[in-house]
Structure 1
Amino acid sequence: MKRPIVLAGGGTGGHVFVADAIAKALVASGETRDALGFVGSRRGQESVLLADSGISLTLLPGRGIKRSLSPRTVLDNIGAMIGLGAAFVTMVVRFGRNRPRAVVSVGGYAALPAGLAAALWRVPLILVNIDAVPGSTHRLLARVAVASCVIGDDVDLPHPTVTGAPVRDEFVQIDRSPSGRQAAKRTLNCDPERPLISVMTGSLGARSVNLSVLELAGAWSARPLTIYHVCGSRDFTEVSSRAAHIEGELEYRVVEFEERPGVLYQATDVLVSRAGALSIAEIAVSGVAAIMVPLPGAPGDHQTKNAQSLVAHDAGILVSDGDLTAQRLGEEIDRLLNDPTARANIEENARARGRSDAAERVATVVMSYV
């Protein structure tokens, strides 16, 4: 049996989607699915999102380390370290048996045990870093990595190759022509003649964004628009309940999770989003005019830096979480809706920053080491 190529990482949907995109590119390059393996976290979404991949999945214990010295956090971090230690032992034993041809880390705490085990067994370790600022896992693994796939020349990791951030095929294939947008709106059962504002802030959602959008929907209830609000699981019950009381010309759609994000991006006239690395990559590849609200307190403030990578090229709008209100959000959306030329320029600039072949570029780097 062929020695595997292992794709490790997880804990968030962003990591999982990147690993899946790379796996598909490796299969397209000639690898078989039984010669690949995923390593992820028991606490993450891997078991659901990768269930139909046809690739073996190993789920590890452990969790991320929290940055706090409170007694509760210290106890949680002790438990996290024990879990990561157990995960490392599991990977050392596993890699000793099957000696992978390469290990690819997409980041997140689930990648750390696999990366360290790869170093112990002298297996080539390739980092795929899609954030503007490397996370703690990749800063640690950088010392033993043979290559780093990065989104730009300014990312501080060793042996870099600029590949861009791998995204799902459905974003690469988007048709954002006027007819394509109308067709996507019909697919979503939305009025194809109305401007569509979409809101996407991750599987859990973002409370500050959710509440601002909810308030804005109430203020805009008489406007002939569509707001398609993917609010996430954490606030869905509250947001959907309050949204039911908003009546008027506005079409306000609240959903917990969108199973067709590519269709939604194709239909979107203005997007409101957090600024995770994968979100930035999807915005760029799709060519969507986005208002980005970075997550406050993210390690190294990496979401702000992610958003700035687009803002610096007039390819998006940044509103800090602290400045976010329904009024400010409405002003920014109106500015884009009322100036089609400015909106089209942002879309074009965003598209110029995207790399639709990023997954294939990463696969090429990986295959050069196996």
Structure 2
Amino acid sequence: MSGGGTGGHLIPGIALYEELVSRGVECRYVLRSNDMKYTVASRIAEADRIFVEIQGISRKLSIKTPIYILKLVRAFFSVFRTIKKWNPDAVLITGGYVSNPVAFSARLLGKPLFIAEQNSAAGVTNRYYSKKAETVYTTFPQTAKLRTDKTIHTGNPSIFKDRSPRAEALKFFGLAGYKHIVGITGGSQGALKVNSAMAEILPELLDKKIGVIWSMGTVDYDRMEKEGKLAEIGAKYPNVKPYKFIDRMDLFFSCADCAVSRAGATSIAEFIHFGTPALLIPIKNSPDNHQYLNADYLASNHAGLLLTEDHITPSILLGLIDTLIKNKDSYIKNLSSLKKENPAKTIVGHILAQLTPR
């Protein structure tokens, strides 16, 4: 199996990998060595990792284009030889360009291909190979850009299973005693407009006794540290806990009453799974506008709020956080209606049933 390049492809891939292994299935995972920068990648057993060095090709021609094409061809041949030698019964991909040579090799070798698609609009690799796949498992009921009707709405596999005790999570973040907890996540690169607006409303949040778990992203964290703003936050706001990124997202979801977040498919799946109401701020100009479509799915089902980057102001952000907190129970109820039980188990069970001789 394969999936990587971003956490959005890697996390569901690892969830599926772990479900396969738990059932005694021998599994190999094709990824880039650079994917090991994600902490979750270490959950793939060393013996099961197959590294391929590949990168996406820019759609704009440049003097580097021939080099990219040469590297791509080498990656295809390397993966093809590996898969031919290992001779798997089937191939499962979750997307990202690292999945491209894996899916291509599966088709050349006549291996059944299965795809797990995370977004409301299928990515390039999953979109292309969907017409040849046995089944495409989707996160959302309607997924644009697929070239097949052989789909099953399963939800998006997650590596997080259950909540921890709230008291344990509050103690971990040092926020015991606060009335409500708001979690802010902007992805690995952060979200400048969100972080800037958040900084403006910290006095109001302190007055309301609202604790804040703030994942700023490396870029904004380093910038604010250099400017002395982190030290200022630490001195003035004991209710605010800033991080570059948060490893213990299970504890994050165990105490956050609501969240402000980008609208990646993995985040959406986690909000649904844990029943955490969220204000979703899609990345502007995401491919095929998929983050907006992801966010709109929750908003149209009254299971979250949607705010575009162009409309972010401190007062609007504060008002929408208040709305989430005041209407928390209603949002949780609507999130519950969207939940799919154990997507990884459903997907793996279906795949194994297709491969079992009848």
Alignment TM-score, normalising by the size of structure 1: 0.87
Aligned-partner Cα distance in 2 for 1:354–1:184: 23
Amino acid at match of 2:296: Q
Greater alpha carbon shift after TM alignment, 288-297 vs 194-203: 194-203
Amino acid at match of 1:9: G
Amino acid at match of 1:368: A
Offset of residue 17 of structure 1: 1.1
The 1:64/1:248 distance shift into structure 2, 3 A limit, reads same
The 1:351/1:83 distance shift into structure 2, 3 A limit, reads farther
SS at match of 1:148: strand
Aligned-partner Cα distance in 2 for 1:209–1:322: 11
The 1:267/1:48 distance shift into structure 2, 3 A limit, reads closer
1:165 maps to 2:156: yes
Determine the structure 2 residue equivalent to 1:107.
95
Identify the match of residue 40 of structure 1 among 27, 31, 41. 31
Offset of residue 25 of structure 1: 1.3
Residue segments in structure 2 that go unaligned for 5+ positions in a row: none
Identify the match of residue 354 of structure 1 among 315, 339, 342. 339
Deviation by residue 1:22-61 (Cα, 9 ceiling, x = unmatched):
1111123332xxx211111233346753224325112222
1:231 maps to 2:225: no
Cα pair 1:9 1:41 within 8 Å, conserved: no
Determine the structure 2 residue equivalent to 1:288.
276
SS at match of 1:128: strand
Determine the structure 1 residue equivalent to 2:232.
245
Cα pair 1:182 1:192 within 8 Å, conserved: no
Identify the match of residue 57 of structure 1 among 49, 55, 60. 49
User: Within 5 Å, which residues of 2 pair with 1:65-144?
Assistant: 65-66=57-58, 69=60, 74-75=62-63, 78-144=66-132
Amino acid at match of 1:349: N
Offset of residue 11 of structure 1: 0.3
Determine the structure 2 residue equivalent to 1:4.
none
The 1:343/1:225 distance shift into structure 2, 3 A limit, reads same
Determine the structure 1 residue equivalent to 2:5.
11
Offset of residue 327 of structure 1: 2.2
SS at match of 1:235: helix
SS at match of 2:175: coil
Offset of residue 255 of structure 1: 0.8
The 1:81/1:322 distance shift into structure 2, 3 A limit, reads farther
The 1:203/1:45 distance shift into structure 2, 3 A limit, reads farther
Cα pair 1:222 1:250 within 8 Å, conserved: no
Aligned-partner Cα distance in 2 for 1:82–1:218: 55
SS at match of 2:247: coil
Deviation by residue 1:72-126 (Cα, 9 ceiling, x = unmatched):
xx34555443332221111111112111111111011110110001111111110
Offset of residue 201 of structure 1: 2.2
Aligned-partner Cα distance in 2 for 1:191–1:243: 21
Determine the structure 2 residue equivalent to 1:207.
192
Determine the structure 2 residue equivalent to 1:197.
182
RMSD: 2.1
Aligned-partner Cα distance in 1 for 2:331–2:212: 20
SS at match of 1:355: coil
Aligned-partner Cα distance in 2 for 1:88–1:9: 15
Amino acid at match of 2:121: V
1:174 maps to 2:163: yes
Offset of residue 218 of structure 1: 5.5
Amino acid at match of 1:114: V
The 1:213/1:270 distance shift into structure 2, 3 A limit, reads same
Determine the structure 2 residue equivalent to 1:336.
324
Offset of residue 219 of structure 1: 5.9
Amino acid at match of 1:253: K
Alignment TM-score, normalising by the size of structure 2: 0.90
Determine the structure 1 residue equivalent to 2:21.
27
The 1:75/1:359 distance shift into structure 2, 3 A limit, reads farther
The 1:75/1:164 distance shift into structure 2, 3 A limit, reads farther
Kindly tell me the number of residue pairs found equivalent between the two proteins: 348
Cα pair 1:64 1:109 within 8 Å, conserved: yes
Determine the structure 1 residue equivalent to 2:350.
365
Amino acid at match of 2:189: L
SS at match of 1:238: helix
The 1:289/1:52 distance shift into structure 2, 3 A limit, reads closer
Deviation by residue 1:139-177 (Cα, 9 ceiling, x = unmatched):
111132121111244223521122111011x3x3126xx
Offset of residue 233 of structure 1: 1.7
Deviation by residue 1:178-236 (Cα, 9 ceiling, x = unmatched):
xx434421232212433111111222322232222223325645542211111122222
Aligned-partner Cα distance in 2 for 1:45–1:358: 24
Aligned-partner Cα distance in 2 for 1:277–1:39: 21
The 1:220/1:164 distance shift into structure 2, 3 A limit, reads closer
Aligned-partner Cα distance in 2 for 1:319–1:250: 28
Residue segments in structure 1 that go unaligned for 5+ positions in a row: 1-6
